[in-house]
């Protein structure tokens, strides 16, 4: 995602090509009318179709596909334009301005710099892209309370618990693998954040039907759409309970590496609808904690 205070000129087509060549098949979003600091700038009366026709003319044969443009009203007097480009036909080649030399170039983005691509980078662009699964939440819950089992440290810690039923979809009928040892799950709310110390996948085996998600000890194997459970827990010092318990919303960030790709599959889940369950009478703790629960926002 890139923020532009004004419509990029035709000379900036090289930057767009560089971003598309380095995106690994992911879409690119331009937000026009807002700079990197979040300042809204007035936009002139520019037709996106005319602007894109001028930009597209700088590309040799194939340009990133302008898949979507959306006007977003910020307040009564200002708006921004969001543009989404597909980058799945790399490498993208741009021609030089005014017939200069070299005539054509394959640019690539390196951090904040645009430069010519190396041979190995061009070869990487030409490799078939691994099918990237998408993740959506079916059901989910997030809770805070006593640790699941009482032990010598039960008076010192409390536990955050996350359970979600996730639906995985594949754009193509291919087999991909998500290794668990490089996966990460993090919970956050405002200034609070913690990464998952214990998490695991669990296949939904309640149905005898063949599913496209297969659980393995070392991760998830996908060869079609399907459902799996992701469970995680965080054991934190007991004195931090009073900081987490009052939060109205909790965010959970999931990052799953994709074998054969340098770009992981990511998803962010939001939990709200906070409820508090009183301490049960049989609780053996000297300073028992209530159970606080949040439910997943499927929107």
- Give pTM, 2 decimals: 0.61
Q: Residue 298's pLDDT is what?
A: 62
CB 27 within 8 A of CB 129: no
pLDDT of residue 208: 43
**Quick one: pLDDT at residue 209?**
43
Beta bridge partner(s), residue 250: 271
For residue 15, what are its two tokens? Answer: 């930057």
CA angle 278, 279, 281 (to 5 degrees): 125
pLDDT at 211: 64
Q: 3-state DSSP call for residue 261?
A: coil
pLDDT of 161 reads: 92
* Residue in this structure with the two tokens 């639906």, named with its chain if needed: 167
Average pLDDT for runs of 10 along the chain of length 299: 90 92 87 89 85 92 91 88 90 84 88 87 78 85 82 74 89 82 89 78 54 82 86 90 94 88 83 86 68 83
What's residue 198's pLDDT? 64
Provide the pLDDT for residue 174. 79
Q: What was the pLDDT predicted at 186?
A: 92
Would you list the DSSP string of 29-75?
A: EEEETB-TT--B-------HHHHHHHHHTTBSS---EEEEEEEEE-S
The span from the CA of 1 to the CA of 149, in Å, is 44
The whole-angstrom separation of Cα 123 and Cα 166 is 35
**Separation between Cα atoms, residue 94 and residue 16, nearest integer Å:** 10
Q: Looking at residue 125, what is its pLDDT?
A: 80
């Amino acid at each position: 995602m890139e923020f532009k205070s004004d419509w990029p000129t035709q000379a900036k087509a090289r930057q767009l090509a560089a971003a598309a060549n380095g995106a690994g098949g992911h879409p690119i979003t331009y937000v026009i009318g807002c700079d990197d600091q979040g300042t809204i700038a007035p936009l002139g009366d520019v037709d996106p179709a005319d602007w894109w026709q001028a930009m597209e003319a700088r590309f040799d044969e194939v340009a990133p596909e302008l898949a979507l443009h959306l006007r977003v009203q910020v307040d009564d007097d200002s708006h921004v334009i969001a543009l989404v480009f597909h980058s799945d036909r790399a490498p993208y080649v741009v021609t030089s301005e005014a017939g200069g030399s070299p005539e054509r170039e394959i640019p690539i983005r390196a951090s904040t710099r645009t430069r010519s691509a190396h041979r190995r980078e061009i070869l990487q662009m030409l490799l078939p892209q691994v099918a990237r699964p998408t993740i959506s939440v079916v059901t989910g819950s997030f809770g805070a309370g006593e640790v699941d089992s009482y032990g010598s440290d039960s008076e010192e810690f409390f536990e955050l618990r996350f359970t979600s039923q996730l639906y995985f979809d594949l754009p193509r009928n291919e087999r991909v693998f998500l290794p668990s040892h490089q996966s990460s799950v993090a919970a956050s709310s405002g200034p609070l954040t913690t990464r998952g110390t214990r998490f695991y996948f669990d296949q939904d085996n309640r149905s005898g039907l063949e599913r496209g998600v297969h659980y393995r000890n070392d991760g998830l194997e996908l060869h079609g759409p399907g459902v799996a459970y992701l469970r995680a827990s965080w054991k934190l010092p007991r004195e931090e309970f009073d900081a987490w318990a009052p939060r109205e919303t909790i965010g959970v960030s999931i990052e799953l590496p994709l074998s054969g790709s340098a770009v992981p599959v990511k998803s962010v889940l939001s939990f709200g609808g906070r409820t508090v369950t009183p301490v049960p009478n049989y609780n053996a703790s000297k300073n028992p904690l209530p159970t606080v629960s949040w439910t997943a926002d499927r929107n």
